[in-house]
Amino acid sequence: MNERRWSAVDAYFTKTIVKQDAALEAALAANATAGLPQIDVSPPHGKLLHLLARMAGTRKALEIGALGGYSTIWIARALPQDGRLVTLEASETHAAVARRNIARASLSDKVEVRVAPALESLPKIEAEGLAPFDFVFIDADKEQTAEYFAWAVKLAAPGAAIVVDNVIRDGRVAHAKDRDARVRGIRRFLEAVAAEPRVTATTLQTVGSKGYDGFTLAVVGR
């Protein structure tokens, strides 16, 4: 098995059942044109986020790490008419691209893009009474994933789903002595999950157009 085959299978499912539309395709094209790193979730993964958000009955969603807003669009499309999504982005450049992509998808009325380091925005979101959130997607700098997870639990509604991207990293997550700061950040996050009595969780390894990686899904108790 190799990455070319994984990508071909992702392309097959994207065309057949994921049904990525023009606004999502345009978002990926705009991100590439703007020179953003091509680390958006894959189309099948985006569709999974959409389906999980629907299954969680999401009215309010929080995303930590917008990049160009590709996953934002998938999640926002799971929201009801009066639903709301707040997405946090540290880079002004990325946020500007995300806002244009979100506007092209006609989602600007539901989505707010906040530009600041997430650990500055999260206390403000709490103070403004924007919580509780039914669905949280964490996909930002991996070093601080444990802190983002703690905030996600704090701001979560009973029964909320929390999804965390990039927890496998070519399998390096299983190497306790790995020196990479991102791998260590993810391991620190997973230790926090294990020690957190308010959530129950699992991790799925994935292959596809984004290589070998995976995500953690945690559900908050009722």
> Could you list the residues that contact ligand DHB (CB under 6 A)?
39, 139, 165-166
> Within 110-139, which residues bind Mg ion (CB under 5 A)?
139
Return the number of the residue (99 or 169) whose C-beta is nearest ligand DHB: 169
Return the number of the residue (10 or 165) whose C-beta is nearest ligand DHB: 165
Residue 136 contacts residue 163 (beta carbons within 8 Å): yes
Structure tokens given for 30:
């705009």
The burial class, CB within 10 Å (0-12 / 13-18 / 19+), for 19 is exposed
CB of 60 to Mg ion, least distance (A): 22
**Residue 151 φ then ψ, to 5°:** -65, -40
Q: Which stretch binds Mg ion (CB under 5 A): 46-54, 140-148, 149-157, 164-172?
A: 164-172
Return the number of the residue (20 or 206) whose C-beta is nearest ligand DHB: 206
Q: Which stretch binds Mg ion (CB under 5 A): 18-26, 161-169, 176-184, 196-204?
A: 161-169
63 binds Mg ion (CB under 5 A): no
**Residue 197 φ then ψ, to 5°:** -70, -15
**Whole-number Å distance between alpha carbons of 186 and 173:** 7
165 binds Mg ion (CB under 5 A): yes
**Whole-number Å distance between alpha carbons of 95 and 90:** 8
